[in-house]
Amino acid sequence: MNAHEKIVIGYLLHPRGYCFGVKRTVDMLDQVLKLYKSVYVIEDIVHSKLFMDNALARGIIKVHSINDVPDGSAIMFSSRGISQKTLKKADEKQLTVIDATCPVVKKLQEEVIDKAGEGYVVIIIGNRAHQQIATLLGSIDSDDVYVVNSEMDIDLLPSFDGRKVAYFTQTSLFPGDIRKITDALKSKIPDIIHGRPDTEHDVCAETLDRQAVIAEIAPTIDLLLVLGASYSANAMSLVRCGLSNNIKNVIRIDSREGIQKDILNGINSFALISSTSVDEPVIKDIENSLQNLAGIEYIIYPEIEGQQALA
Ligand code: SF4
C-alpha cells in the first residue's frame, strides 16, 4: 500500500463461524470416522462445498436416498434433523444411525408433534425443500399439516372453521419475512396461535444474534459481505436482513473465488459476516484475500472481551 492509498474500514461481525449445532455435527463426524471406515449420508451434513469435499475424501459416501444405503451400514444425519419415517426405514435396514440433529431442531420437532397430537391443524412457515421442514413433515402422523412460504401459499390454504390452528417456523429464517407471512395468516385465520407461548417465531438464537449485529452496523457501512452457500437458509437470511436494513450493497460469496477484483471499489466501509456453516479458517482466508485488493483496517465488531482470541 502506498502512502496515498485510501484505507477501507472492514468490520468483522461476531458471532460468526460454525453455530453450536453445526460444530456439534463436525465434532461427531470426527468421532464417527474413527469408528467406521465409511459412513453414508443422503444430504450435505454441513452446507459447505469445501467441507463436503473434504468429508467425501475422508470416507463419507453421499447417496440419493436411504434405499441406496447397503443394509447394516452406518448412516449420518445432519443438524437439520431426521424424520420418524426415515428412522423406521433405517431400522428395517439395520443401519447404525448417527443422529446429529441440533437440540434446537429436535425440541421444535417434539413441540410440533405434540401440537398435532392435541388436535391442532399445524402450519409450518418455511421452505418445503429444506431438510428441517421435510423432517417435520415426515414425523407428524396427521393430514392436517401445511407448509407456507409466501402470502400466495396462504391463499391456497383451505378453510379451518371450528378448528384449532397453530403455526411454527423454520429456525433459520429472517423474522422480518416471517412477520409478513404471520400477518397474512392472522388475517385469514384470526384465532391462529404460535405453537409456543410468548414467542412469535422459532428462529434460533444463533441466527438472531447474527441478524441483530447486521441491523446494528447497517447505518455505518456501504457493503455487507455474507459468507455462505446459496443453498444455506441461514446465509440467505443474513442477505435478507442486510437488504431489509437498507445496506446499499449486499454480496454473498462462498469462498475467495467469489471475490471480484472491484468488490471494494468506491467502498469506504464494509462488514463481513458468515453463516453458521462456515468454518473460521475460510473466513480468515477471505479477510486475507480482501487485503490483497485494498488497504483495510479491520475492526472486530462488536468489541468484545477476549477479542484477541477471535482475531
Ligand atoms: S442454525 Fe440454529 S437451529 Fe440450525 S443448527 Fe445452528 S443452532 Fe441449530
List per-residue pLDDT tens for the chain, 311 residues long.
Answer: 555 578 999 999 999 999 999 999 999 999 999 999 889 999 999 999 999 999 999 999 999 999 999 999 999 999 999 998 999 999 999 999 999 999 999 999 999 999 999 999 999 999 999 999 999 999 888 889 999 999 999 999 999 999 999 999 999 999 999 999 999 999 999 999 999 988 999 999 999 999 999 999 999 999 999 999 999 999 999 999 999 999 999 999 999 999 999 999 999 999 999 999 999 999 999 999 999 999 999 999 998 655 444 43
Atom of ligand 1 nearest to the CA of 21: 5
**Contact by Cβ (8 Å): 242, 214:** yes
**Contact by Cβ (8 Å): 282, 235:** no
CA–CA dist 294, 262 (Å, integer): 10
Task: With respect to residue 291, please indicate whether it lies within any of the assigned structural domains.
Answer: yes
Please state the pTM of the whole predicted model.
0.93
CA–CA dist 217, 247 (Å, integer): 9
* Radius of gyration of the chain, Cα coordinates, nearest whole angstrom: 21
Binding site membership of 36 for ligand 1 (Cβ less than 6 Å): no
**Contact by Cβ (8 Å): 83, 134:** yes
- Which of 151, 171, 194 delimits the end of a domain? 194
Q: If you measure from the C-alpha of residue 279 to the centroid of ligand 1, how many angstroms do you get, rounded to a whole number?
A: 14
Say what the alpha-carbon torsion angle 58, 59, 63, 67 is, to the nearest 10 degrees.
Answer: -160
- Which of 194, 226, 244 delimits the end of a domain? 194
Residues 118 and 158 in one domain: yes
Task: With respect to residue 62, please indicate whether it lies within any of the assigned structural domains.
Answer: yes
Cis preceding-peptide flag for 70 (omega within 30 of 0): no
Q: If you measure from the C-alpha of residue 2 to the centroid of ligand 1, how many angstroms do you get, rounded to a whole number?
A: 44
Residues 256 and 293 in one domain: yes
Residues 76 and 134 in one domain: no
Q: If you measure from the C-alpha of residue 276 to the centroid of ligand 1, how many angstroms do you get, rounded to a whole number?
A: 7
pLDDT at res. 6: 85
Task: With respect to residue 208, please indicate whether it lies within any of the assigned structural domains.
Answer: yes
Domain holding 258, by residue range, is 7-18+204-310
CATH number, residue 32? 3.40.50.11270
Which residue is associated with the grid cell 470426527? Answer: 30
Binding site membership of 105 for ligand 1 (Cβ less than 6 Å): yes
Closest CA to 112 of 162, 174, 170, 152: 170
Atom of ligand 1 nearest to the CA of 19: 6
Structurally, the chain folds into a number of domains equal to 3
- Which of 57, 84, 101 delimits the end of a domain? 101
Q: If you measure from the C-alpha of residue 264 to the centroid of ligand 1, how many angstroms do you get, rounded to a whole number?
A: 31
Task: With respect to residue 1, please indicate whether it lies within any of the assigned structural domains.
Answer: no
Residues 175 and 237 in one domain: no
Binding site membership of 204 for ligand 1 (Cβ less than 6 Å): yes
Binding site membership of 278 for ligand 1 (Cβ less than 6 Å): no
Q: If you measure from the C-alpha of residue 203 to the centroid of ligand 1, how many angstroms do you get, rounded to a whole number?
A: 9
CATH number, residue 285? 3.40.1010.20
Q: If you measure from the C-alpha of residue 292 to the centroid of ligand 1, how many angstroms do you get, rounded to a whole number?
A: 33
CB neighbours of 46 closer than 8 A, spacing ≥ 6? 22, 25, 26, 52, 55, 78, 277
Task: With respect to residue 252, please indicate whether it lies within any of the assigned structural domains.
Answer: yes
pLDDT at res. 54: 94
Residues 183 and 97 in one domain: no
Binding site membership of 254 for ligand 1 (Cβ less than 6 Å): no
Residues 119 and 133 in one domain: yes
Residues 295 and 259 in one domain: yes
Binding site membership of 203 for ligand 1 (Cβ less than 6 Å): no
Q: If you measure from the C-alpha of residue 109 to the centroid of ligand 1, how many angstroms do you get, rounded to a whole number?
A: 13
Task: With respect to residue 2, please indicate whether it lies within any of the assigned structural domains.
Answer: no
Task: With respect to residue 199, please indicate whether it lies within any of the assigned structural domains.
Answer: no
